[in-house]
Structure 1
Amino acid sequence: MQTTLKKTVIKSTASTHFKNEVDLGLSATVKYLPSKYFYDKKGDAIFVEIMNMPEYYLTNAEYDIFKNKTQDLISVLKINHKTDFDLIELGAGDGTKTKELLKVLDNQGFKFTFLPVDISKNALSQLESTIHVELPNIKINTKQGDYFNVLEDIKTYEKPKVLLFLGSNIGNLSDAKAAEFLKKLSTALHENDKVVLGVDLIKPKHIVLPAYHDAQGITSRFNLNLLERINRELDADFNLDMFVHDPEYDEKEGIAQSFLKSLTTQQVKIGALNKTFILKKGERIHTETSRKYNETVLNALLKDSNLKIIDKLMDSNNYFADFILEKIKK
Structure 2
Amino acid sequence: MSLKSIQKKLEYTKYVVGEQLCYYEPSRNKSQNTLVQELSSSLNKKQKSINPKFFYDKKGSQLFEQICKLPEYYLTRTEISILTQLYEKLPPHLNGDFRLVELGSGSSKKTRTLISILERLQKHVEYFPIDISKILRDSSKKLRDDYENLHITGIIDSYESGLEFIKNYDNKKNLIVFLGSSFGNFDYENGLEFLQKINSSMKKDDLFLIGLDLVKDKRVLERAYNDSQGVTAKFNLNVLSRINSELGSNFNINKFVHHAIYNESQNRVEIYLRSLENQIVNIPKARMILQIKQDELIHTENSYKYTIPEINKMLSMTGFRIKDIWYDEKQYFCLVLLSKND
State whether residues 85 and 111 of structure 1, in contact with CA within 8 Å, keep that contact through their aligned partners in structure 2.
no
* 2:196 maps to which of 159, 183, 206: 183
**2:39 alignment counterpart:** 22
CA gap of 1:9–1:73, structure 2 versus 1, over 3 A, is closer
Deviation at 1:286, TM superposition (A): 0.3
**1:79 alignment counterpart:** 94
Q: How far, CA to CA, are the matches of 2:125 and 2:148 in structure 1?
A: 13
Aligned length: 320
Q: How far, CA to CA, are the matches of 1:134 and 1:211 in structure 2?
A: 32
Deviation at 1:323, TM superposition (A): 0.6
Q: Decide which moves more: 139-148 or 8-17.
A: 8-17
Match runs of 1:262-277 below 5 Å: 262-277=275-290
Matched, 1:149 2:165: no
State whether residues 202 and 251 of structure 1, in contact with CA within 8 Å, keep that contact through their aligned partners in structure 2.
no
State whether residues 115 and 125 of structure 2, in contact with CA within 8 Å, keep that contact through their aligned partners in structure 1.
no
CA gap of 1:299–1:104, structure 2 versus 1, over 3 A, is closer
State whether residues 183 and 302 of structure 1, in contact with CA within 8 Å, keep that contact through their aligned partners in structure 2.
no
**2:83 alignment counterpart:** 66
State whether residues 88 and 114 of structure 1, in contact with CA within 8 Å, keep that contact through their aligned partners in structure 2.
yes
**1:195 alignment counterpart:** 208
CA gap of 1:194–1:289, structure 2 versus 1, over 3 A, is same
Match runs of 1:160-309 below 5 Å: 160-309=173-322
Q: How far, CA to CA, are the matches of 2:121 and 2:97 in structure 1?
A: 13
Structure 2 unaligned residues grouped into runs of 5+ = 1-11, 15-24
Deviation at 1:79, TM superposition (A): 1.2
**1:39 alignment counterpart:** 56
Q: Secondary structure at the match of 1:95?
A: coil
User: In the TM superposition, what whole-angstrom CA distance separates every residue of 1:21-46 from its partner, at most 9, and x where no partner exists?
Assistant: 11211101110000000000110110
Q: How far, CA to CA, are the matches of 1:180 and 1:9 in structure 2?
A: 24
User: In the TM superposition, what whole-angstrom CA distance separates every residue of 1:74-104 from its partner, at most 9, and x where no partner exists?
Assistant: 22xx214xx3322111111111111012123
Deviation at 1:273, TM superposition (A): 2.2
Deviation at 1:150, TM superposition (A): 1.9
Q: Secondary structure at the match of 2:32?
A: helix
**1:118 alignment counterpart:** 131
Q: How far, CA to CA, are the matches of 1:252 and 1:62 in structure 2?
A: 25
Deviation at 1:9, TM superposition (A): 7.0
User: In the TM superposition, what whole-angstrom CA distance separates every residue of 1:90-123 from its partner, at most 9, and x where no partner exists?
Assistant: 11111111101212321343543111111112x2
State whether residues 203 and 254 of structure 1, in contact with CA within 8 Å, keep that contact through their aligned partners in structure 2.
no
Q: Secondary structure at the match of 2:286?
A: coil
User: In the TM superposition, what whole-angstrom CA distance separates every residue of 1:106-164 from its partner, at most 9, and x where no partner exists?
Assistant: 1343543111111112x211121111121121121111111122222222231111110
Identity of aligned residues (%): 35
Deviation at 1:234, TM superposition (A): 0.7
Q: Secondary structure at the match of 2:110?
A: helix
Q: Secondary structure at the match of 1:69?
A: helix
* 2:142 maps to which of 130, 134, 140: 130
Q: How far, CA to CA, are the matches of 2:26 and 2:94 in structure 1?
A: 40
Deviation at 1:297, TM superposition (A): 1.6
State whether residues 247 and 258 of structure 1, in contact with CA within 8 Å, keep that contact through their aligned partners in structure 2.
yes
Deviation at 1:68, TM superposition (A): 3.5
Structure 1 unaligned residues grouped into runs of 5+ = none
**1:325 alignment counterpart:** 338
Deviation at 1:73, TM superposition (A): 2.2
Deviation at 1:320, TM superposition (A): 0.8
Q: How far, CA to CA, are the matches of 2:292 and 2:239 in structure 1?
A: 16
Q: How far, CA to CA, are the matches of 1:9 and 1:319 in structure 2?
A: 37
Deviation at 1:279, TM superposition (A): 0.7
Deviation at 1:275, TM superposition (A): 2.2
